[in-house]
């Protein structure tokens, strides 16, 4: 089964990541979301495709989280049209689940027999799967507590790609780390 995620639609439904670009840089939101998906992907062996509007900025085009296809829509299409195109060109759209809260996409992909899961339902599934991967009992109980207002990224830490990015930032040109 393939899972196609309407990237920004889901991101902006998750208050723990941030609702608007005014609060946080969009690239940071994308990276936090992809870090969560990396851990989710470890538990789910389905093909995972995340579709974003536009061409991406900064190093986002270079980041390819393990087992996740990141697609930025072409200049002449937005993410919605890109998702519709993927579904309509699929050999077996009945094996596709689309993650979105966009009614237009939902109606379109259901015509092809795709399953649709809402953004918040999907996020709860991610949170539950990620919580099970945590080994520390204290972190596990915090993630499962629905009243906890802390962002999930606090407990997950940086993704492998984010860690590598910061290692490069804090390294000097001679290849030594800044703290050496």
Comparing CA positions, the residue from 91, 86, 135, 140 lying closest to residue 99 is: 86
Residue 178 lies in a domain: no
Q: Which domain holds residue 139?
A: 2-169
At 19, which CATH number? Answer: 3.40.50
pLDDT in tens, the chain (180 residues): 799 999 999 998 888 776 555 545 778 888 888 888 988 887 777 889 999 987 655 434 445 667 789 999 887 889 999 999 999 999 999 999 999 999 999 999 999 999 999 999 999 988 887 766 554 444 555 555 554 566 666 666 777 777 888 888 888 655 555 555
Residue 180 lies in a domain: no
Residue 6 lies in a domain: yes
pLDDT at 65: 64
pLDDT at 43: 75
Residue 9 lies in a domain: yes
Residue 160 lies in a domain: yes
Residue 176 lies in a domain: no
Structure letter (DSSP) for residue 159: -
Task: Please tell me the pTM assigned to this model.
Answer: 0.68
Domains of the chain: total:
1
Residue 48 lies in a domain: yes
pLDDT at 135: 46
In the chain, how many H helices and how many E strands? 8, 5
Helix axes 119-133 and 26-43, enclosed angle (nearest 10): 60
Helix axes 119-133 and 137-144, enclosed angle (nearest 10): 170
Residue 179 lies in a domain: no
């Amino acid at each position: 089964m393939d899972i196609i995620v309407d990237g920004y639609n889901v991101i902006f439904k998750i208050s723990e990541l941030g609702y608007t670009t005014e609060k946080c840089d969009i690239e940071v939101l994308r990276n936090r979301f992809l870090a969560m998906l990396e851990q989710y992907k470890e538990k789910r062996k389905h093909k995972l495709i995340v579709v974003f509007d536009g061409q991406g900025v900064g190093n986002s085009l270079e980041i390819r989280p393990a087992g996740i296809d990141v697609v930025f829509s072409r200049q002449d299409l937005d993410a919605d049209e890109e998702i519709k195109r993927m579904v309509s060109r699929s050999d077996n759209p009945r094996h596709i689940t689309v993650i979105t809260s966009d009614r237009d996409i939902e109606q379109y992909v259901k015509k092809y027999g795709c399953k649709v899961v809402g953004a918040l339902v999907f996020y709860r599934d991610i949170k539950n799967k990620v919580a099970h991967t945590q080994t520390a009992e204290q972190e596990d109980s915090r993630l499962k507590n629905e009243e906890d207002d802390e962002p999930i990224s606090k407990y997950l830490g940086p993704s492998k790609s984010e860690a590598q990015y910061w290692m490069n930032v804090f390294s000097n040109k001679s290849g030594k780390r800044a703290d050496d």
